[in-house]
Amino acid sequence: MVLVQRVGVNFMKQNQTCSKIKQLFIFINENIFKSNSHIMMRYLVKELLLYFTIAFLFFFLVFFCNQILLLVQDILRKHVPLVEVMKLMTYSLPFIIAQSAPFGTLVGFLMCIGRLMTDNEILILRATGTSFFRLSLPVIVLGVLISLGSFFVNDYLLPLGTIQYNKLYKEIKFSHPNVEMESNSIKKTSNSILVIGEVNDRNVSDLLLFDTDQDGNQRLIVASNTELLDPQDSTIMMQLRMSNPSVIQFDNENKDTYEYISSDFTTMNIFASQFISSGSSGTNPREMTSYDLKQYINKLKAKGTSSKRTLNTYNLEYHKKFSLPFGSIFFALLAFPLAILFGKHNGQTIGLIIGILISVLYWSLMTLGQIFGLRNGMNGFVSMWLPNLLVGIFGCIFIFFLVKK
């Protein structure tokens, strides 16, 4: 009997000891491993932000240099003051930031997670009991935050920058009319068409002008040499002094009848109002917020007088206000499983290459969507959101393989 009691007491002590050991393991797991896990999560966020910043600056420089090249081609070589060019670049910054953020998210996250995989840091996190779901949370959360910031820039700062850019550009055209004269180009005004040959500073060779007067009579003026003069009247945007022009005057009532006139010199005035009225039939969609665009689209639909192309232009811009900035979420969803599956060896380099390739494909799809939307009347939502939907589908497929693995 005493022996049974002793055995029972020993058994109870062993149970108490096992219980204490179990409690100790629980304590260690909750206070040490979880503490280390929190530290590693903060480390992961820090690394993601670092790589996003590097990738964002890379794409920012690419788009910034592209904008400079466009301005050099259109304005800087026409002897426009550098200060005005720098102002134009400043007003272009919201556009450049909005374009750079999604691609910076994709490439930055791929490079970051790829490096962590190559250095076995993801493996260490997994060894502490951290699930793939928990590892993906910082990636998705940062993708959402980047999208929200990008949307603010795209929807609020971009219209402000575009308004100031267009305003300054018009002022430059008034003060430097040769900006409008581009070699081998066609310019349309409210009542005339200019076909421009070679332009050398203020001299234009092979200029053709086709216009219509108030009575509806049409005329064609051809000049082998034309000089751009400084207009004395502020309402005149461009003054053309044509050498040895040939004028063909058509009769409005009898189309087969025309009058031929030639002279040594003639001067043509092109007024500022002609260029302003020919620029656009309505408000520039990039000068509007998403709310303004929606209201304007409903207004155009209610009137029923706008062309299908005009409606498509505003619809595409409206959906692009959302699709491009929120592309960061879809890119984050794709980057996490893709980097883990293919980042075991040289993950950082592979992430950079894959990221740039996907960025090029994404940009190409966005461009094609805009072309099909404008020319073929493709639905604006489908045109602008299709690249994101494809990225999201592939992201889900890679997540499936990751979980199955």
Give pLDDT tens digits for 39-63.
777 888 899 999 999 999 999 999 9
Report DSSP state, residue 243.
E
Name the band, by pLDDT with cuts 50, 70 and 90, for residue 281. very low
At 195, list the tokens.
Answer: 């076909």
Higher pLDDT, 380 or 201: 380
Is the pLDDT at 21 greater than 80? The verdict is no
264 and 243 Cβ atoms separated by less than 8 Å: yes
Angle at 167 between CA 85 and CA 278, to 5 degrees: 115
Q: Where are the beta strands (DSSP E) in 272-336?
A: none
pLDDT digits (tens, 9 = 90+) for 121-148: 888 877 777 788 888 889 999 999 999 9
Phi, psi dihedral angles at 81 (to 5 degrees): -55, 140
Mean pLDDT of 359-370: 92
Which amino acid, 220? L
CA distances from 123 to 94, 258, 308 (A): 39, 85, 55
Report DSSP state, residue 251.
P
DSSP letters, 218-255, are EEEEEEEEEEEE--SSTTEEEEEEEES-EEEEEPSS-T
pLDDT computed for residue 8 by the predictor: 46
Hey, which of 204-208, 211-215, 353-357 has the most confident mean pLDDT?
353-357
Torsion angle of C-alpha atoms 90, 92, 95, 99, degrees rounded to 10: -90
Higher pLDDT, 68 or 154: 154
Higher pLDDT, 252 or 46: 46
Higher pLDDT, 387 or 130: 387
Gap between the Cα atoms of 323 and 153, Å rounded:
13
Report DSSP state, residue 387.
H
Report DSSP state, residue 156.
I
Share of the chain above pLDDT 90, in %: 34
Gap between the Cα atoms of 30 and 48, Å rounded:
26
What's the whole-number average pLDDT of the chain? 80
Gap between the Cα atoms of 337 and 44, Å rounded:
15
User: How many CB atoms neighbour CB 107 within 10 A?
Assistant: 27
Strand partners, 210: 193, 220
Phi, psi dihedral angles at 263 (to 5 degrees): -155, 170
Mean pLDDT of 248-272: 73
pLDDT computed for residue 278 by the predictor: 44
pLDDT computed for residue 32 by the predictor: 40
